[in-house]
Amino acid sequence: MLGEHTDYERLRFFGCTTYYHVNEGKLDARAKNAIFLGYAAGVKGYRLWCMEDSKFIISRDVTFDENSMVASLKATVPDQPLRHYGQVNLVEYALSVEDDELVTFKEAIRDSNSESWLAAMEEEMESLRKNQRWEVVPLPVGKKAIGCKWVYKKKEDPFDLGGTRYKARLVAKGFAQRE
C-alpha cells in the first residue's frame, strides 16, 4: 500500500451525463442516456438513472460526458417549507434496529427462512465438491482435525426490489492450526 500510486481511473463526477450500452435489437439505438449516481455496491459497475425509462440501471459499459451536467430540476420541483424534528435518541434507535445476522448453524435452522439457508448451504457444499476444494485423507496419529463453521450473509438487491439472496460459506477455523 505504501509507495503505491492511487488509481483514479474509475473516479467520476456525480450527476454527469452518461451513455450506457444496450443490446435490444439490430436497428435500435446502441446506447441510452442516463445520469451517473454513484458506484454499485458489491458489483463492478456504475449506478445510473435512466430518465427515458425512469429506472435505475447498473452497467459496466458506460461512456461518461463529464463536461455535460444534468440541467437543474429546480423549476419542476415546488418549494416546500423545511420540517423541524426533535432530537433523536440514538440509544433507542440503535436498540430498535433488528440484527438479522446469523452466527450459528442452530440459528440458521431455527430462523423463519431456514429453507433458504439450507438451500444456500447445499449450494456451497455442491460448489466445494464440484471445484474439488478438499481431499479426504487419513488423520495422522496424535493430530486433531481443524474444525470448520458456517458464515451466513444476506445479500440485498441493490435496487430494493425485494430480491434477497442467502449466502452460506463453509470456512476453516484456521486459528486452531499449529505448526
Provide, rounded to the nearest whole percent, the portion of the chain with pLDDT above 90: 3
Cβ-Cβ contacts under 8 Å for 119 (sequence gap 6 or more): 166
What value does the mean pLDDT take over residues 135-155? 85
Residue 122: the pLDDT is 93
What value does the mean pLDDT take over residues 131-137? 82
What value does the mean pLDDT take over residues 109-132? 88
Domain co-membership, 69 together with 116: no
Domain co-membership, 24 together with 66: yes
Domain co-membership, 171 together with 105: yes
Rounded Cα distance between 23 and 86, Å, is 50
What value does the mean pLDDT take over residues 129-136? 83
Residue 9: the pLDDT is 73
Q: Examine residue 10 and state whether it is found in any structural domain, yes or no.
A: no
Q: Examine residue 78 and state whether it is found in any structural domain, yes or no.
A: no
Residue 123: the pLDDT is 92
Residue 22 is part of which domain span? 16-73
The whole-chain average pLDDT of the chain stands at 79
**66 grid coordinates:** 463529464
Domain co-membership, 56 together with 107: no
Q: Look up cell 476444494; give the residue.
A: 133
Q: Examine residue 80 and state whether it is found in any structural domain, yes or no.
A: no
Is residue 77's pLDDT more than 60? no
